[in-house]
A and B are shown apart, each in its own frame.
Chain A
Amino acid sequence: MATNRSDAAQSAPRPVRGVFRWSLWIALYLALPIGVLWLLYIVDQPYNLSESYRVRSADWIASMDNRPPSSGWRALGADAQPKRDPTQAFTSVWFRFTIPPSVAKPALYLPYPNGNFDVWVDTQRLLQTGRVRKPLRYHKAPIVVPLDAASEPGEQYVFVRMTRQSSYPLINYAYIAPVEDALRDADEQLVLQRDIPLTVLAVMSVFGGLVALMFFFRRGQTAYGWYALTTALWALDTSHALYHGVFFHHFAWYSLTYIFLMWLVAELYFVNRYFKIPAPRLERAITGVSIVACVVLFSIALLALDSQRFERFYYNATVPFTLWTTVIAFVVSSRYFVAVRKSFTFDSVSLWLASGIVIGVGIRDICYELGIGNVPGSVYYLQFVAMIPLVLFGIQLMRRFASDSRNAERLNRELKQMVASRTADLELTSRRLTNEERRRVLAEERSRLMRDMHDGLGGQLVHALALSEQGKDRDLERSLRLALDDLRLIVDSLTPSENSLQDLLASYRHRVSKMLQRSGFTVDWILDDCATQIALKPNTALSILRIMQEAVTNAVRHSGGDHLVIRLRETADRLQLSVTDNGRGIEPGQTERGMRNMRVRAEEIGAQLTITTQSGETSIRVCLPLDFQDITVV
C-alpha cells in the first residue's frame, strides 16, 4: 500500500520527464541514420580527383563494329542519348573522348565500370574486359587505362566501346587524368567496391559459422539454425558484389533479395518473442503477404531466365517490392520501439536504434535507385548497413548461448552436489544400518551366551552346590570339573583370534591329550587341511566342540576301549566330524542324557548327528551343512 502511494505521488512529474526522455531517444533514432549516411558519404568520396579532369563532352555512335567506326559520330546531349536495341541480346555503343593536351601522362579512368569495355587509341586496342557477345562479365573494379599512344602532339581521341546486356550503355563518369591521380582514386574506390564487401563477407561468415556451431551443440534451438542460414545467404549475396556470374545466372542472385523479405519477417517474429510483446494478427498478416510475394517473385525470377523479360519484370517489381520491404521495416522498428518502452535494456535499445539506421539507409537507397533528389554516394548502402542488426542479433544469440551454457554448468554442478550429498546420506544410513546390524548380532550373541551359561554352567554349579551340602566331595569335584571344562569351551569359542577350526581344535586337543594319556587312550587325529581352515560362528563352533567333548568323554568313561579316531573333513558343502572308539558299543539306555544333549546341540546349529554302535566300534558323526550364515570371515 505504502509503495503504491509513493508511486502515485511520484507519478505526477513523470509524464513530463518521460516525454522529454522519449523525445531525446526519438531524436537519436532519427539522428543516427543521418549520422551513418553522413559517415558513408565521407567514405564514399570518388571526387577527390579534380572535377576538371572529368570528361564533360563526348561523341557517340551505336554500332556493333569491333573497331572504332570512322564516321557517323554525334555529340552526346540530353536529347541525343544511346537507346537500348531491343532486337539484340545486348547493346553496343562506341564513345569518343578528346584527350586534353594539358594533361601530362594521361589515363582514362572509369570509376564505376558497369559494363564490358573495349578501349582504343587510334588503331590500337588498349583494353578489353569480357567478350563483347557475352557481356555478362562485369568489371566491378575501377578501370585505369594509361593512354601512352597519345603522347604524339595534336588532337587525339580515345575510343571506348561499352556493351551492356540489360540496359542502355551510358558512361556517367569518365575522367582523363594524370595516371598517378587516377590510380590513387581508383585505390580509394577499391575500398568501397571490394574491401567493404569483403569485410561484410568475413563478418557474416564468422557470425554465421559461430552460430552454426552453437546450433550444432543445441539442436533444439532452431533460432541458431535460422540465423546461420540467414547469414549464409547474406554472405552469398554480398559475394555477388565482388564476383558476377558465379554458380548461376546473376538474375537469380538478384532474386535472392526477395528471400530477404522473409528475413525481415523473421525479425518481426524474433522481436515479438524475444521481448515478449505478442502481436499474432500482425504477424499473420505480414507473413501471409510476404510469403505470397516472395514465392511469386522468386519463382518468376527463376523461371524467367530470358534476360529481357526478367529485366522488365525486375524493374517493374522493384518499386512495390521495395515499398513492401519498407513497410515491414517500419513495422519491425515500431515493434522494437514497443520493446524499448516495455523494457529499457541494452538489447531493446540497440536493436531499435539499429532498425532506425537500416530504415534511413534503405530510404536513401530507394532514392538513389529511383533518382529522386541528388543523393550523394556511388553504391547501395543497405546491404552493408543491414549487417548492423544482424551482428547485434548474432551477439544476442551468442550471449544467450553463453548464459545457457553457464546455466547448464551450474545445474550440472548443483546436480553433482545433490548426488554427492545424497550419496553421503546413503552412506550414513548404510553405516547406521551396519552398526545396527552389528549391535543386533552382538545382542544376539550376548543373549545366547547368557542362556548358555544359565542352562549349562548355572545348572552345573547349582548341582555342585547341592552336592557340597550333601558332603559328596568326589561327585562335587567331578561336577565342578565338568563346569570348568564347559567354561573352557565357551572361552575358546569366544576368543576373537581363534576363529578357524584349527585354532579351536588345537586348544581342545592340547587339553584332552593329557587326560586321554592318563586314561590309557591313544588317539589318531585325522584332520583334513581344508576343513581346519574353515571359520565358524562362535555359537556353531561351541556346539561342535561340545559335541566332540561329550563324545570323547563318553568314550573314555564308558566304552572300555583304548583307542580313539577323531576325524574332521570337508566334503562338498558339508563339514564332517566323527569320534570313533574301539569299545564295547553303547548299550540301550546307557548314557542317554549325553546322547540327548548332543542331539539338541546338533539340532541347534542345523547339523545331523548319526550314532552307529556295535561291539568293537562306536562312531558318533556330526554333519554340518556349510551355510555362509555359519561361517565368519577367515
Chain B
Amino acid sequence: MAGKGRTSVRDPMRTKSRKFKTILITAAVLATSVVFASVVWASYTQTTTLNSYFATADSEFYFTSDLLLPDASPIPVYAITHDWQADSEATIRFDLLNYDNSLKISNRAIHYEVETDPAGGAVSGTIAADVPEGNKQTIELDFTNPDPQAPLEVTVTAAATSPYSKVLRGKFIISPAMTYSVNDNEGTPTAILTINLIQSETADTDVVIAWPEGAAPDMTNPIVKTAVNEDSMDLTNRSMTTTLHTAAVYELIFFKDAMDNYNGITVTK
C-alpha cells in the first residue's frame, strides 16, 4: 500500500520546475533561430545626398497695355467715333508693353495673341526683351461696320502665351461721327430730317445735304441760311453744303409736293 501511495502522489514543485525547463529550452531555440535568420537577411544600405536645389521661377514678367487692363479688373470701356462714310474701316490702336514701370521690365520675350469680338483683326506676335528700358508693340485692328448708322461694340482680348499667361481686356464702342434719319412722313405735308453729330476733335464740320425731287427745304432754317450765306446752296441740283457744330442735333423740315412718303435725302461729310 505504501509503495502504491508513493507512485501515485506527484511533487508539485518538481512538475513546475520541469515545465519551466521545457519553456526555457524552447525559448532559447526559438531565439537562436530568429537571430540566425536576421543575420541571413542582413545587408548594407547607403543613402547619399547628391545635392539640394532651390528651383525658382523667373518672376520678371510684366505684360501691360496703355488701354487694356488685366482680366481681374473691371473691363475698361472707351467711346470713339468714326466717320464710316469717309472711311469704311475704323481702326482701334493700343500698345502692348513688356514692362510695368521703369524698374519692372520683363527679361524674356513675350509671345501674345490678340483676338476681338466680333471677330476681325486678330494678330499675334512677340515683344522682344532686347530693350533695356522696356519694349512695346503698337497693335492696330481694323473693323468694318455692317450698319454705319449704329455704334459698333468691340471687345479686345490680348493674351500673353509665353513665358507666362496673362490676359488683358478692353471694350471699344465705335460710334458713327454722324447719323441722320428722315421720319415716316406718309400722309403729312412735311418730312423732317434729323442730323446727329457726335463729339469729335473739331468743333465744326461741313456736311452736304442732297434731296430728291418732290420737296423743298425750309429756307428759314439756320442750316439753310448758313448754306445760302456761304453761297453753297444749289436749288437746281437740290443740294447744299453747310457748316454744323459737332456734338449737336439738327432738324430740317422739307415741304413736300405730295402726301406720300418722301425719302431719299442724304447727308455726307
Q: Do A and B come from one complex?
A: no
Question: Residues on B close to A: CB < 8 A?
Answer: none
Question: Residues on A close to B: CB < 8 A?
Answer: none
